Amino acid sequence: MQTNPTHTSLVAVGDSFTEGMSDLLPDGTYRGWADLLAARMAARAPGFRYANLAVRGKLIGQIVEEQVPVAAAMGADVITLVGGLNDTLRPKCDMGRVKGLLTEAVERLAPNCRQLVLMRSPGRQGPVLERFRPRMEELFVCVEELAARHGALVVDLYGAPSLSDPRMWDVDRLHLTAEGHRRVAEAVWQTLGHDPEDPEGMEWHAPMAATPPPGWAARRVADARFARQHLLPWIGRRLTGRSSGDGLPPKRPDLLPYDGPTA
């Protein structure tokens, strides 16, 4: 792998994970790991351009239809693709179709960039997600196979115990906190061949400092709030075929110069 390569452009493709939920900025917009990564890359390459086509709630079929052709046409140095996980969380999921669509996405993107980056997404622990874990792991095997065939890089977030820490996840238990996104940006940065930007080198792997666990009563209150505010609405959208991203445009639809947030 090239050490400290210079990339002049980045296009991010995917769903809420890449859009940046729940790394909320004061103005009500989301930042996220892709914005943080773009800021680091821009600091090394004058005129650096960045597009983020990701939209929350998108399934892999929607990503292939709506985002992949646009990203391929941009001809960026680096394209990141993270998708399919929303499909695995649906009550009914055809994994053969999901893997086929992911394969189509990779085959269309890999020839149209200098470096394609795929991910094994982070996975937290919890009874709600446990029933879907075999599907998630089947998807990640497909990611590894596609990367080997097409020369893509794989960022293994799923294998990082630090990112399974509940404190890395927002109250909805589906999206990373600002600290989680910061660690993902560092992981992608290093996977691209850059030197670590923290003194510990692989700090993004490191567990958070231990704190006393919340008491039984606090956990029950948090569980009830999570079920009322997030789990039940999420189930409702799954059952009715709706998405949290319906009607929302990408936050950065064009490949333009970037001078956004710093890491």
What SS3 string covers 186-214?
A: HHHHHHCCCCCCCCCCCHHHCCCCCCCCC
Q: 233 with 172: CB under 8 angstroms?
A: no
Q: Which domains does the chain have, with CATH numbers?
A: 9-211 (3.40.50.1110)
pLDDT of residue 124: 62
Whole-number Å distance between alpha carbons of 89 and 101: 16
Q: 233 exposed, middle or buried (CB, 10 Å; 0-12, 13-18, 19+)?
A: middle
- Paired with 30 in beta bridges are 24
pLDDT in tens, 229-263: 445 555 555 555 655 656 789 999 999 999 876 55
Residue of 80, 61, 65, 82 lying closest to 16 (CA atoms):
82
Whole-number Å distance between alpha carbons of 107 and 110: 6
Q: What is the mean pLDDT of the chain?
A: 84
pLDDT of residue 29: 86
Whole-number Å distance between alpha carbons of 146 and 103: 7
pLDDT exceeds cutoff 70 at 173: no
pLDDT of residue 12: 98
Owner of token pair 């600091």: 43
User: What distances in angstroms separate CA 69 from CA 15, 17, 66, one per listed residue?
Assistant: 16, 20, 7
DSSP 176: B
Query: Which residues are CB-contacts of 108 (< 8 A; sequence separation ≥ 6)?
Result: 64, 68, 69, 72
Token duo for residue 32: 């996220």
| Confidence category of residue 23, pLDDT binned at 50, 70, 90 | confident
